[in-house]
Structure 1
Amino acid sequence: MTGELIGGPAVISTAGLTKHYGNVHALTDLTVDVGAGVTGLVGANGAGKSTLIKILLGLLEPTGGHAHVLGHDIEQQSQEIRRLVGYMPEHDCLPPDVSASDFVVHMARMSGLGASAARERAADVLRHVGLDEERYRPMGGYSTGMKQRAKLAQALAHDPRLVFLDEPTNGLDPAARTDMLRLVQRIGSDFGIAVLVTSHLLGELEQVSDHVIVLDGGHLLRSSSTGEFTERTGSLLVEVVGTETERDRLGEALAQRGLTCRPRGAMVAIDPPPPELAEGGAAQDLIRDVAAELGLGLMRLQPDRRHLEDVFLEGGTRV
């Protein structure tokens, strides 16, 4: 039986999945479901992300437990899984003397498409990933960003139902990283393909994921919707014009008015206000008035939100 999620069956379902290499525990008793849309798999290097993907593809045999991908058992039906799933590996694996067009056509043919369909599909996916004008160049001369796009294109070549993207932003500069994240989001939203994307950069996955799974040392730390991770905390963030001196002046004055404050970078972080200031924007009004009394220009006043980093900073409970 595969798992069920709100909105439909799980595209991935694991139960007690475990992988040990001698005394090294890459995964331990992982039980989790992955639904449609974009799911971020986050954790530090060595957390077990790549190991999980390879097990789900049937490339590694688990030590214990079991899993299903698109309703297929990973141990009994791994060939069918690989037919339905696209995979973008983390490391550079592109033949340098082959063009992106020839490579993606080849991968589409390997997945069962006929020659004509493979050429048409290759042209489509290379256009979607932004390699239309560079598709006939040997990939050995590509930049890191172009190589990542070529790897993404081959993962989409056979019109999969699910794609595994292992660290797709690895080695990219900020602009290329942003472009890649937009592509990942489009795959899930516009193409309707389920995505499991890994990253050790926590903030990235907040931007593009519908759901986030956090691994820590091979254990499941937390699995929930991105909105639950980044929900409002009731706290406030305030920034004023000036240096740390002005920031501290504001924080001290607000503390005298009954608010609990602490510096956070250039801002003042304010704990959830007491009941008498929690309703009707009274706390915001107080902050505005105190800043005006001190002659400080108010740059920012906003609700604080949790971030994925908070799960680790809090030493989250393993579930």
Structure 2
Amino acid sequence: MTNLIELVDVTKDYGRFRALDHVSLQIRSGVTGLLGPNGAGKSTLIKVLLGLVRMTSGRGRLLEFELGRQSREIREQVGYMPEDDCYLHGMTGVESVQFVAQLAKFPAVEGLRRAHEILDFCGVAQERYRTVETYSTGMRQKLRFAQALVHDPPVLILDEPTSGLDPEERQAMLNRIRVMAREHHKAVLLCTHILPDVQSISDSVVILARGRVQVAEDLAELSRPSSPSLHVRLLGSSESFVAHLHSHGIPVEVLSTGIIALKGPPDELARLVWLAAEKCHVSIRSLTPARNSLEEIFVNAVREEALDE
């Protein structure tokens, strides 16, 4: 797969403060989660990609365009969804999206057609004819997402896209992002503090801390535990089930979440688990290979950077 975004030793200084410290990254199509504590350099990285601030040193490209030299061309290829509101008072939702399409050089009629099409995709119904200042937080999130999509860019940069959404709308937003990446082959850079969102839809993860890249790897590799194990959830009491497994020499740990963790090859353990459930007359609710939690990965990455300092 071709890297759509490449950064090599990118550094950005604001006076004596170093916001980005020799950042090197390769981002391909799919969803890349951009994580980091406050002040880690995420916003500066986005501004560098969009050409809104100049790099102090380093080089990079987005598609075939060079960062710092072809910023206008880059912005034409990127759909950016900012965290904060950015709309003109007095405009309706559909007018706001049409306006962005016209900024991307679409004729007015074609821009209006695309605005309606994208608002349908984003789940905005008759609200599109209301002025944007009457919108709820969730409605404004949908509008910003529609504005980012309307010119069909190959790269999407989404800053906190699920912030302020209720659980149902949050899941719908994640599904839309998944469709953009999987079916339309876009590169999505998802900047968020909501770790479960990243774990549910991301293909890879980048973690920044103090302006440095601490982690840049496929999520599947990061989530794979150092030793194979299996997680079991039961309906009802687990005492006899756990005792039975112990009696057969299988290492078992009951976690605080109620999950029963078994160490060993998952395929072999699965057969023993079903036999034990039948013997102990218990029902298995779920049976899944263990995964490292993204929260643990994040905390460890930030802690390592603090220790290095």
TM-score by length of 1: 0.84
2:98 aligned partner: 105
Residues in 2 aligned to 1:38 and 1:202: alpha-carbon distance in whole angstroms: 14
2:230·2:266 contact (CA, 8 Å) conserved in 1?
Answer: no
Residues in 1 aligned to 2:27 and 2:35: alpha-carbon distance in whole angstroms: 13
User: How far has the Cα of 1:200 moved from its partner?
Assistant: 1.5
AA aligned to 2:214 is: L
User: Out of 163, 167, 171, which is 1:178 matched to?
Assistant: 171
2:255 aligned partner: 263
User: How far has the Cα of 1:180 moved from its partner?
Assistant: 0.6
Counting only pairs closer than 5 Å after superposition, residues 187-266 of structure 1 correspond to structure 2 as 187-231=180-224, 234-242=228-236, 246-247=237-238, 250-251=241-242, 254-256=245-247, 257-266=249-258
Counting only pairs closer than 5 Å after superposition, residues 150-169 of structure 1 correspond to structure 2 as 150-169=143-162
1:130 aligned partner: 123
1:15·1:31 contact (CA, 8 Å) conserved in 2?
Answer: yes
Matched, 1:119 2:101: no
| CA shift digits 1:7-26 (9 cap, x unpaired) | 22x11100111223345443
1:4 aligned partner: none
User: Out of 41, 58, 74, which is 1:48 matched to?
Assistant: 41
1:247·1:266 contact (CA, 8 Å) conserved in 2?
Answer: no
| CA shift digits 1:269-301 (9 cap, x unpaired) | 22x23xxxx4862x3444445556656544333
Residue 115 to residue 299, structure 1, CA distance change in 2 (3 Å) = closer
TM-score by length of 2: 0.86
Residue 279 to residue 177, structure 1, CA distance change in 2 (3 Å) = closer
Residues in 2 aligned to 1:125 and 1:301: alpha-carbon distance in whole angstroms: 39
For structure 1, the 5+ residue unaligned runs are 1-6
Matched, 1:74 2:60: no
User: How far has the Cα of 1:93 moved from its partner?
Assistant: 2.2
Residues in 2 aligned to 1:258 and 1:180: alpha-carbon distance in whole angstroms: 42
AA aligned to 1:210 is: D
Matched, 1:63 2:49: no
| CA shift digits 1:193-212 (9 cap, x unpaired) | 32211112222122222222
SS at 1:44's partner residue?
Answer: coil
Residues in 1 aligned to 2:204 and 2:296: alpha-carbon distance in whole angstroms: 16
SS at 1:27's partner residue?
Answer: strand
User: How far has the Cα of 1:159 moved from its partner?
Assistant: 2.2
Residue 100 to residue 286, structure 1, CA distance change in 2 (3 Å) = same
Percent identical = 34
Matched, 1:31 2:24: yes
For structure 2, the 5+ residue unaligned runs are none
User: Out of 289, 292, 298, which is 1:312 matched to?
Assistant: 298
Residues in 1 aligned to 2:114 and 2:5: alpha-carbon distance in whole angstroms: 26
Matched, 1:303 2:289: yes
1:139 aligned partner: 132
2:266·2:289 contact (CA, 8 Å) conserved in 1?
Answer: no
Residues in 1 aligned to 2:233 and 2:80: alpha-carbon distance in whole angstroms: 44
Matched, 1:87 2:73: no
| CA shift digits 1:176-225 (9 cap, x unpaired) | 11011011111223333322111122221222222222223322122222
Q: Give the count of matched residue pairs.
A: 302
Residues in 2 aligned to 1:23 and 1:294: alpha-carbon distance in whole angstroms: 66
User: How far has the Cα of 1:304 moved from its partner?
Assistant: 1.3
